[in-house]
Structure 1
Amino acid sequence: MPAGFWIKALDEDDLQDVCRVEQTVFPREAWSEVMLHEELIGPFRVYVGVFDENNQMVGYAGTMHSPETAEIMTIGVIPEARGHGLGKAMTQALINASRILRTDSIFLEVRERNQVAQTLYEEMGFEEISRRPRYYHNPTEDAVIMRLLLDY
């Protein structure tokens, strides 16, 4: 974890912080408070948050697990905290949780224009396996589907 930051598993007590980060990172496509609450308490979910030295949440990420696979549902870091490797740290935490749960593979979707994220995921071993045309809106663009195969 980069100096000055710490990470923890999230639960419903962190809902307001998650909502604040969600609104900051995804203002046009933010999930509702109800949706975020369901994610935090839902079965087969793992969510982590990153906090700064003032104990303010600056990012969060989460996965949904099935017996064989996991899907990264979201990863977000507020603009002021970007560039410190926090997205990578949270992704690695989710990968580690997936390994503990003996997941075979992890999937994610990323905007086709988000080259920074795609490069990060490729460096972590994810590979593009398909695309969903016009999946995202504001602006409309394809979703790049990526997968990481876990070996044991």
Structure 2
Amino acid sequence: MESGGRIEGMNTLKKVQLGEGHIKEYARFFQTLPYFNSFNETLDAQSPLSRWFGGALLQEEAVLVVLDDAPLFFLRCVPRGNQRVILSLTADRTLWSKVPEAPRFIQEEVLQQGEPKRSYTYHCLLNEWNIEVMRALNFGVSQWQRVMHRELAATKAPELGEGLRVRPVKTRQDFALRVRVQNEVFQNKNRIPLTLSEVLAQARFSSYNPDLALLLEQGDHPVGYGQIVHQGQQEVLVNFGIVPEARGQGFGRILLRELLHRAHRMEVTCVYLEVRGDNEAAIALYQEEGFSSLYESAVFLWPKSTEDASNEALFWAKNS
């Protein structure tokens, strides 16, 4: 199926709904471009942290936009009712710069397609070209994050201050304390509070390591929690944080060092983590403790959401 329109003084833009036999053909074409952004495919190749879709590729659909006979823009996605999860989105950078009306055409003819409630989510690498395309197509930002990693070597256990202790989560009461800490650490309006039944279920997963799920306590009060789990072929630091009233006292550094020390004793050689791109305090701590950045990525939404305008304004200010 094709649709198109003529831009005054320029050539014709045309949309082509691709059948199954042509999707790989055009994917290969865009991969030959020197500035090709394979987006989710690139993320998936870099780290198992980024495997979101599983077998959903079987349901994919794809659209191509051509300028006369030259491929300009390529979109692959998976339908979820009115929502589409984008797998790949890329453009020929040379042609893109020559067709200023292309973004409007793509929004109207490819993204909206006459369906006012149609929406898209897209998780992609952050770089100059990706950001330019997202801004031109008027995508909003839901969240952005940085993936970091550190090779482990033998270290001493950290010195604990008076009244501090670190211990693994073992009993039902311990799990209840973990729930309380995590709900205090990760407070935002869009987060559904964690429940005891959820963490008890997680403890039965093969990825869970009970010796690397640690509570930090000051006296009788839990002040922090963190754990290292097995994901794919990697060990990943997750659910790490200090409750708000105990921050600024070095507790995060103590808990992190204890986790890494115990992980190394269990023959873990490398640890990965994902942190929000706007969490400057956490990023600084991880860098000081030897973590280096692998890449940054973001989740974009179309059309824009007005629920988190401050977060979006901060993102564009940092990436303008």
Quote the Cα distance in structure 2 between the aligned partners of 1:133 and 1:32.
27
Q: Is the 8 A contact 1:47 1:61 kept in 2?
A: yes
Give the counterpart letter for 1:9 in structure 2. P
Name the structure, 1 or 2, with higher relative contact order (CA <8 Å, separation 6+).
2
**How many residue pairs align between the two structures?**
140
Q: 1:84: how far off?
A: 1.6
Q: Which has the larger radius of gyration?
A: 2
Q: Is the 8 A contact 2:216 2:222 kept in 1?
A: yes
Q: 1:67: how far off?
A: 9.1
Give the corresponding residue for 2:176. 16
If the length of structure 1 is used for normalisation, what is the TM-score?
A: 0.78
**Alignment of structure 1 residues 54-65 onto 2, 5 Å:** 55-65=220-230
Q: Is the 8 A contact 2:235 2:271 kept in 1?
A: yes
- Given candidates 262, 278, 296, the residue that maps to 1:97 is 262
Quote the Cα distance in structure 1 between the aligned partners of 2:250 and 2:216.
11
Give the corresponding residue for 1:147. none
Q: Greater strand share, 1 or 2?
A: 1
Q: Is the 8 A contact 1:68 1:105 kept in 2?
A: no
Q: 1:31: how far off?
A: 3.3
Runs of 4+ in 1 over 6 A off after TM superposition: none
> RMSD of aligned C-alpha atoms?
2.5
| CA shift in 2, pair 1:16/1:73, >3 Å | same
Q: Is 1:34 matched up with 2:194?
A: no
Q: Is the 8 A contact 1:68 1:104 kept in 2?
A: no
Q: Is 1:51 matched up with 2:210?
A: no
Give the corresponding residue for 1:80. 245
If the length of structure 2 is used for normalisation, what is the TM-score?
A: 0.40
| CA shift in 2, pair 1:61/1:109, >3 Å | same
Larger mean Cα displacement after TM superposition, 38-47 or 19-28: 38-47
Give the counterpart letter for 1:17 in structure 2. L
Stretches of structure 1 lacking an aligned partner (at least 5 in a row): 143-152
> % of aligned pairs identical?
21
Q: 1:7: how far off?
A: 1.0
